[in-house]
A and B are shown apart, each in its own frame.
Chain A
Amino acid sequence: MEMELDPDEVFRDDEDDPEAEAVRESASTKELSVYLVDASPRMFLAQSPSGHDKDESYFHVAINCVVASLKTQIINRSYDEVAICFFNTREKKNLQGSDGVFVFDVGDRESLDRPTAKLIKELSCLEETFAKEIGSQYGIVAGSRENSLYNALWVAQALLRKGSAKTADKRILLFTNEDDPFGKMKGAYKADMTRTTLQRGKDAQDLGISIELFPLIQPNIEFDVSLFYADLIGIEDDDIAQFISGVGERFEDMKYQLRKRMFKKRIVRRLTFSIVNGLSIEVNTYALVRPLVPGSVVWLDSVTNQPLKIERSFICADTGALVQEPTKRFFPYKNMNIKFSVEELADIKRVSNDQLRLLGFKPLSCLKDYHNLRPSTFIFPTDQELIGSTTIFIALHRSMLRLQRFAVAYYGISSHPRLVALIAQDEIKDVGVQVEPPGMHMIYLPYADDVRHIEELHLSPETLAHQASEEQINRAAALMKRMDLKDFSVCQLGNPALQRHYGILQALALEEDDLPEIKDETNPDEEGLSQPGVVKVIEQFKHSIFGDRYESSRSASDEKRSEASKKRKANAENALKECENYDWAELASSGKLMSLTVADLKCYLMARGLPLSGKKEDLIGRIKMDLRK
């Protein structure tokens, strides 16, 4: 928990994790997306006429999804560029001058640009002014040759012309509740419009733009992808059922879908996995779980608010001369400075032939809960360079699952060589949606010196350790049954500190006066805990352990604590008295502080409630600082 060491740097990880680096955003791997939202009158129908949900229109749901997605993007991938584009609108606003298409913009932002706080803010309250400013209107009507969908794709494609397909992923995210856009058309008109629109879509895809569909489904009415969209986005017949089952009905489902599909899979590394002598396969690694940390801090000039350039220089401590960055390092040992070159240090760390080397297999029970050091890395096979890799991987995966074994391997990359466990994870699906992908998870194992023997720290040979009785265990079990979190999953809870962090930033970026209230979902369910049934099992458990002594045992230790605090108080009072013996300002200005003892100096600090740590020089420095105030 490095945060305790430095509470200010709350999320900073003390390790240089190259893998974390690799997954962190960078300008070179950005994505360009156009959110293409249907604004036809049909989208403004209430989502559930039956009224079991709030009366939210489809349009409202779509906008909320886009806002949520933008908020994630601005935090995680702020180099991504986005555009918001509506079609089936009354007004038109686009460079091509196409009817029924409205590109939404704010202020000094380009149409396709990095998401800003202002964009998110204005988009989230767009609905209030939508009817007035933009307006909703069917863009494809019988008897007219207008094709708003075609226009929309054309505009989106034009927006995405920026940037080369090689360096940026480009996509169009299409939100609609109309499964048959040309349904009202007849005969040759329909065929013709369908054909041209599909051709438009194909052209876009040929330019490296992918089109993703987010259908908004009406209750009890199927969104029939096969009518039109299957052809547009290119899904095969077999996959249609799967596609549809993966689409949720509710807003939450939609948001989840969007989040899942928002981020392109990124390969952290490609590894050669040596199975036996002469047989290696190739795998890709992915970082599926990494602590999300707030974006980096930059130093600004407080007058101009302009970022400052940081200049690093190396100074020889002996001569004070400016030097180049040295290539030698040293380590004091046996009263000598033992020197190593940077290459030698790299050599020392290179302990293995292979990137990933299989050593053998163990039953899953051998992997203990304390065999963990850092977040796991996911492994999935690839046949891109070595054909046959996937087959071997699947065979191993199946055997390991069946035999309940994990593989032990040596992960030999020179930046961080480690012994690792590879756990086979079977695919888990929930209502057709993949919850856990199939593959292996690489768990970084500790070495002997990384494991501490705390259990034996407090044993006393004279007395046996107290072990709960059968009755006490039963009471605990009863308590567990009452306090069960049904279907707990790690994805449920948001990080309140992070949400607060970005809430504040968003408010400040928008120059709002009120800071947002952040709901801390991580607090215990107080209501649940006060239910009579729960209170009862807790009391029973408590009684079985403590009898009637619970209160007394607590007050006893509270007393101990209050004694300690009394002592501290007395010390501080004493210090206050002691420090009155000196004229500190006088001592400081005449430079006589050095002649006082450390104990005297600490009296001052204690009386002023300042930290007592450090060398004498530090103490004096701190006192001087304090006097200057």
Chain B
Amino acid sequence: MEGEAGFSRFSCSTRSPSTGLRLPGYVSASPQFFLFSCGRELQKAPSFLTPCQNQENGSHFSSSLVGVSVSEASWRSFPPLMARNKEALVVLLDVGPSMHHILPDVEKICSILAQKKLIYSKYDEVGVVLFGTEETENEVAKEVGGYGHVFVLRNIKVVDGDLVEALKKLPRGTFCGDFLDAIVVGMDMLIKKYGLTNKGKKRMCLITDGCSEIKDSHEGSKEDQVNIIAEQFTRYGLKLECIVFRGSLRPDANETVMAENDRILNVFPKKTYAKTIYVENPTSLLGAIKTRNIFPVTIFRGDLEISPQLKIKVWVYKKSSEEKFPTLKKYSDKAPQTDKFATHEVKVDYEYKNHENSIKYVPPDQRIKGYQYGPQVVPISSDEWDAVKFKPDKGVKLLGFSDASNIMRHHYMKDVNIFVAEPGDIGATLAVSALARAMKEMDKVAILRCVWRQGQGNVVIGALTPNLSDNDLVADSFFFNILPFAEDIREFTFPSFSNLPASVQPNDDQQLATDNFVQMLDLGPSNNRQEELLPDFTPNPVLERFYNCLELKAQNPDAMVPPLDKTIRRITEPDAELFARNKSIVDAFRRRFEVKPNPKLKKSSKPPGQEKPSGSDDEKVLHDFPTLNVIDTTGIKTAAQVEKIGDLTPIQDFEALISRRDSPEWVNKAIKEMSNKIYDLIEDSYRGDNYPKALELLEALRRGCILEQVLNLLPAHCNVLLKSITSNTFLTSIAILS
């Protein structure tokens, strides 16, 4: 490798995106690049500085003011200005070998991101940079050398269908990528295209496992370099989102390198518009990136009135808000096929009539609204109603403080608002901070009465709770939850558990088994593990599937609804490994309790309200055995009838077989038959056409073994096979097998 030697020699300067070698005219018009490069270089590596830059040199930093004014004047005519809710995004993807196992999920999240942009923000511009690739292709490398294995897959341009395609099949790289190099390349792309304009709308999104070493610099520590890069981020109004995937560690992972990378990645959020997120499983990775850019708008700007003498200026936003299932239009196929401009839309028309059969319509000005009051309907015109209805004045007023324990969590009524101090108002920021911190210390909430805007027809009462910041750059704020009015609560009385008959009270053994069960099936954070299914990192399975299906149908209009993605299924189904890990506790719990159908009731033909996921493996099973036992909702105990693994539904047959409880022999039989099935598939395969199927069976085999805690029974060569799947060298391992 020719480049390698030079690359390491200039390891420091390689990270310079110096534009010094650009066309002279360009350079003179953009001296901020010069400053930028000087910043990165400090005093060393002068060979990269062009004469032009040296002229201005001497004291790089003091000339900055001049630089900015020149550049702003000159940039104004060039870079495109984006509307306020548009953004330019550069995705930086680590495709190095250590990332291969997670790349399918990276592809999923990135393509959904691109799809949603295509639908909801079709003027957004997106660039894609890969690193850890065999090849090198980026402008910085061309201009200053170095920056190897960083590959610009796509320059920044408006989103299109090709982007979705490209992100769906990312190439697998062969080198350990340097994410700092990638960040500089991405930054260079954004700065070249937009310069100082569009502050805050230029974003970079880095996905890496942070396992590969960052190349050293000759002078200054890596932290210094990061600091300098961070300064440029601030200066140009660039945002950075780093998503670091830390799943189960590979045996060859270098912990020193990782610790250092973590340190570097955590410098950014302390210095600039940046955020670093760690995720530990593929499901959280799918939720770690915001796939839809929603420009936040305030629902209220004005005073938080503590009393007539003390008012604090605040802005109120939504903190949580449900992303709805997209609205689809009704389709009409009446237009002739030749009509290229047909809209296919259906208009819904409402006509008002006096009687069912009357032909005469009642015109709008002859209609009046009637309000129901008991059996009476009271007619009131809109004008009359407006004149008499409740019209509170706009304002947010404190009623007082109360112990947090007086507010029940289940009384929160809606999505949540956030109160922040008016930006730039130091007094307000301090007041919010002082109140929030005091509330936290004393475990209090504030009760507010809010009318968000003039003319609003009602008031809301709610609780303000503290939201303290642990980042020095981020100010303290409040969450606000709406509480019910007296009328909104239905006070039903339920029997006390302690008054129920002794026969339904759990005994001590049962309680102990339950205690263990609750304690061990823990999804919370622990020393060596992140919280699982954290709402903030959990993607919406329904929307995920919708966009997935949308793309499939774009390619083939007759495409079926795909089964739920495996990674997504971790949200709707329990984690088999977690249950397997705690098998003895789960079993003990299950043994202690018995549930049986009420004999007094007629056996219903189907379990009450049973719903099946479409396209799931279980569907077939349920169809085959309509007389499913009421107790069993998981389809696993339907096994009694299954005796061998057939060709039609081998996975279902296997699952049924291995979970048969009437004899321990079934487990062995199931594993043996399944292994044979896999061998047969591989042997009968023509040019690998059966391999995907074989893989599926193999996965099912492994899953079954985990569930039944019989991994030791898994044939040894299957383990070999399985390992090879993750390293994507399936074909070679087939050779080993045969």
Contacts and interface: CB of A to CB of B under 8 A. Distances in A.
Interface stretch (B23-31, B138-146, B212-220, B471-479): B471-479
A315 interface: yes
A451 B630 CA distance: 38
Contacts of A321: 334
Contact of B372 (A116, A295, A354, A528): A295
Given A490-B411, A490-B483, A288 B506 contact: no
A198 to B, nearest CB: 26
B618 A353 contact: yes
Nearest to B307: A529
Interface stretch (B10-18, B492-500, B689-697): B492-500
B420 A454 contact: yes
Contacts of A276: 574, 579, 586, 589-590
Contact of A410 (B418, B422, B441, B573): B573
Contacts of B474: 455-456, 459, 465
A319 interface: yes
B434 A541 contact: yes
Contacts of A408: 523, 533
Given A288-B490, A488-B400, A553-B427, A361 B518 contact: yes
A337 B331 contact: yes
Nearest to B446: A480
A334 B590 contact: no
Interface in B419-446: 420, 422-423, 425-427, 429-431, 433-435, 437-439, 441-442, 444
A448 interface: yes
A485 interface: yes
Given A355-B609, A493-B485, A74 B511 contact: no
B737 interface: no
Interface in B433-465: 433-435, 437-439, 441-442, 444, 447, 449, 452-453, 455-461, 465
Contacts of A347: 561, 614-615
Interface string A374-414: 11101010011111111110111111101101011010111
Interface in B528-573: 531-543, 545-546, 549-550, 553-554, 557, 561, 564, 568, 571-573
B601 A338 contact: no
B42 to A, nearest CB: 21
Q: Which of A115, A260, A449, A453 has the most chain B CB atoms inside 10 A of its CB?
A: A449
Interface string A355-380: 10111111100110111111110101
A360 B532 contact: yes
Interface in B308-338: 308-311, 313, 317-323, 325-326, 328-335
Interface stretch (A209-217, A470-478, A572-580, A581-589): A470-478
B305 to A, nearest CB: 8
Contacts of A469: 434
B321 A394 contact: no
Given A300-B369, A464-B472, A553-B425, A480 B444 contact: yes
A305 B335 contact: no
Q: Is the interface of A mostly helix, strand, loop or mixed?
A: mixed
Interface stretch (A175-183, A531-539, A602-610): A531-539
B511 A395 contact: yes
A393 to B, nearest CB: 9
Contacts of B323: 447, 449-450
B640 interface: no
B605 to A, nearest CB: 13
Interface residues of B, number: 235
Given A363-B524, A410-B572, A399 B517 contact: yes
Contacts of B471: 465
Contacts of A485: 399-402, 447
A289 B490 contact: yes
Interface residues of A, number: 227
Given A300-B369, A529-B308, A326 B330 contact: yes
Interface stretch (A95-103, A149-157, A503-511): A503-511
B437 A315 contact: no
A349 B542 contact: yes
A311 B351 contact: yes
B250 interface: no
A421 to B, nearest CB: 9
A295 B399 contact: no
Given A408-B533, A485-B402, A497 B367 contact: no
Interface string B262-301: 0000000001110100000000000110111010100100
B379 interface: yes
Interface stretch (B128-136, B353-361, B720-728): B353-361
Contact of A496 (B331, B459, B511): B459
A271 interface: yes
B158 interface: no
A557 B487 CA distance: 40
Contact of A308 (B332, B352, B414): B352
B494 A344 contact: no
A185 to B, nearest CB: 35
Contacts of B85: none
Contacts of A349: 325, 542
Contacts of B345: 317-318
Contact of B311 (A288, A315, A458, A554): A554
A308 B348 contact: no
A153 B419 CA distance: 58
Interface stretch (B201-209, B382-390, B669-677): B382-390
B710 interface: no
A465 B473 CA distance: 5
A112 B213 CA distance: 83
A106 B208 CA distance: 77
Given A370-B416, A370-B418, A472-B434, A303 B483 contact: no
A278 B636 contact: yes
Contacts of A357: 572-574
A431 interface: no
B346 interface: yes
19 contacts: A276-B590, A277-B579, A292-B488, A344-B549, A348-B545, A370-B479, A374-B322, A374-B414, A376-B409, A378-B410, A385-B630, A417-B572, A434-B494, A459-B475, A461-B230, A480-B435, A494-B487, A524-B400, A554-B311
Given A323-B334, A480-B438, A550-B310, 9 more contacts: A114-B375, A309-B354, A362-B523, A396-B514, A447-B287, A459-B473, A472-B430, A490-B408, A495-B459
What 9 A-B pairs have minimum CB-CB distances, sorted nearest first?
Answer: A10-B457, A468-B434, A448-B287, A497-B458, A441-B410, A329-B328, A295-B372, A476-B438, A437-B494
